Every structure is written in structure tokens, then in C-alpha cells.
Amino acid sequence: MKTDRNQQPKELGKVSWYRDYDAAIAESSRTNKPVFLLFQEVPGYSNCVNFAHDMLSYPLFVEAIENEFIPLAIYNNVAGEDKKVLEKFNERAWNNPVVRFIDKNGADLVPKLDFSLNPLALYEKMRNAILISSKQVPRYVELLGDELKILHGFSKITYYETPCFWSGETSMIQHPMVLSTEAGWMTGKEVVKVHYDPDKGSLDELNNFAIDQGFYLMKKPDTYKIDVNPQYYLKGSVFRLLPLSFTQRTCLIMLFRIKKMAKEKLI
């Protein structure tokens, strides 16, 4: 039996959890998925609530936790079976949220996450646990990492003038440094707003790629305005109705552009 995400304590976020350790371990054995073991204070103070709000309720996190792991929540401030599990892992009562990633034998796959409210820190632990257990990280999980870099200020932004921003954004997303693209206007010119990962290369490298595509670097970002129709390639599909993230939207735009070019026999 798992919790109802719509009727559970706010400290558990929107993930549907197992609450029985043995049941979670049995499911891990059956599916060969690792256990996402959350030690949480319920009811909890601000750190516990914020952890649940910022990470355990964010849709892409919820999807990854529920699809790639067996989610198990153990309250660190109650007696009974929860306390037994707390003692089994030598965790402290009435503590900040702690997450451990364990296999079907209860052994840690990666070092635990504790004393951290950083979404990227949790993501990296999840990614490493998936790599160790299944050897391959699904693309949608990789997109979560890109999304978090954008949302939490670890990406950089630059702008390029393009002959057509709709085709321009699909050209720029092909560079491995680029996390997302967006069509807009700047001083009356069509431009592409680009979020990029500075850890994957230099801005000069990205600029040179843009120049090779026939684009120009723009230097007055304060005048930028998003286009009224930023999802041009998606507007004729059912995907336009979905609450897509930045990175999901960008990947779909590229796929629709490639499909359109193939149909027109341009590739």
C-alpha cells in the first residue's frame, strides 16, 4: 500500500510513498529498482517543508523518483516500525530530511544526502544511483538536470540575432552546451534567447557555432521580449496543451523541426 499524494502530509510532497520497509525491499527485489529512502520529520519545521516543496513536489523530480526508484518514507519522529528503521540505519531522530539510495539488500549505493536543500545535489545523487543500478540514465532524467541548472542559476544566458528565430532556436539547440532556446525580439530584430551550460564549454565556442549558422551576437538583453507565439512548432500538435518544462519544450521543438524538414525533403 502506498500513500495518496493528494491526501498526505505536506512534508512528503507529491510523491506516492511506501511506508513499510519490508514491502519496499520486496518491491525492489521484484523490479530490480533501488529504494529512494527518505527519512523525514512529519510534522516538520521549515527545512522539511521546503525540501518537500522544492524537490518532492516538482513534477520532473516526482516522475523520476516514482519511475526509477521504489519510494519509501520513514518518519524520524515517531515510535514503532519507523523508529526501528531509523535505528537500523543509525539515523538521528527529529533531524533534517535525509535521503539514502539503497539496493534490495539495504546497502547504500551512493553516499547519503543530508543537511542539503540543494536540488542539484539531490539530482546528482539520484543520477549516480541510477547509473550504478541500471548503467543508463533515461533522457528525461538528464533533462531534469538541465532544467535544474536553468531554474537555480547555474546556467548562463546569451542572445543571437537570427534571420528566423523559429529555425534559429532549433539550430542552436543542436550545440551540446545549449540547455534551452526561446524565440523573441530585441530592438525590432528576431533573436534567440539561449540558456547554456558554462561547464560544457566557453562562450567563444558557442558564439563561433552561432556565427557558422549565420547568426549574430546581441549585446542589449534589457530590450528582449519573448515572442507571442514561442511554441510555433508545437502549436499544431497535442503537445501544446501540456505544461512542458523549458528543456522538454526545446527538445520537442527540435524534433518537430527535423520532422518538418524530412517531410519537405530538406534532410
Per-residue pLDDT reduced to its tens digit, 178-218: 999 989 999 899 999 999 999 999 999 999 999 999 999 88
The CATH topology of domain 155-263 is Replication Protein E1; Chain: A, (3.40.1310)
pTM above 0.75, yes or no: yes
- For range 105-116, the mean pLDDT: 95
Which range (32-41, 110-119, 229-238) has the least confidence? Answer: 229-238
Q: Which one is predicted more confidently, 262 or 76? A: 76
Going by C-alpha positions, the residue among 199, 197, 228, 59 that lies closest to residue 140 is 59
* Direct distance between the N- and C-terminal alpha carbons of the chain, in angstroms, rounded to an integer: 51
Per-residue pLDDT reduced to its tens digit, 49-74: 999 999 999 999 999 999 999 999 99
- For range 107-120, the mean pLDDT: 94
Q: Which one is predicted more confidently, 70 or 222? A: 70
CB 149 within 8 A of CB 179: yes
According to DSSP, the residues that pair with 225 across neighbouring strands are 185
Assign 170 a pLDDT band (cuts: 50, 70, 90): confident
Which single residue is written with the C-alpha cell 549505493? 109
Is pLDDT at 231 greater than 80 in this prediction?
Answer: no
Going by C-alpha positions, the residue among 144, 205, 215 that lies closest to residue 180 is 144
CB 181 within 8 A of CB 167: no
Q: Which one is predicted more confidently, 6 or 134? A: 6
Residue 249: per-residue pLDDT: 77
- For range 67-86, the mean pLDDT: 97
Tell me the DSSP string of 61-98: HHHHHHHHSEEEEEETT--THHHHHHHHTTPPSS-S-E
Work out the mean pLDDT of the chain and round it to a whole number: 90
- For range 135-151, the mean pLDDT: 91
Going by C-alpha positions, the residue among 160, 120, 143, 125 that lies closest to residue 38 is 125
Assign 258 a pLDDT band (cuts: 50, 70, 90): low
Residue 257: per-residue pLDDT: 65
Going by C-alpha positions, the residue among 150, 152, 204 that lies closest to residue 179 is 150
Q: Which CATH architecture has domain 10-147?
A: 3-Layer(aba) Sandwich (3.40)
What is the distance between the alpha carbons of residues 200 and 202, in angstroms, rounded to a whole number? 7
Report CA 229 to chain centroid distance, whole Å. 25
Assign 23 a pLDDT band (cuts: 50, 70, 90): very high
Q: What is the percent of the chain where pLDDT is above 90?
A: 70
Is pLDDT at 263 greater than 70 in this prediction?
Answer: no
Is pLDDT at 150 greater than 70 in this prediction?
Answer: yes
CB 232 within 8 A of CB 162: no
Residue 256: per-residue pLDDT: 66
Residue 57: per-residue pLDDT: 96
CB 217 within 8 A of CB 199: no
Domain definitions of the chain by residue range? 10-147, 155-263
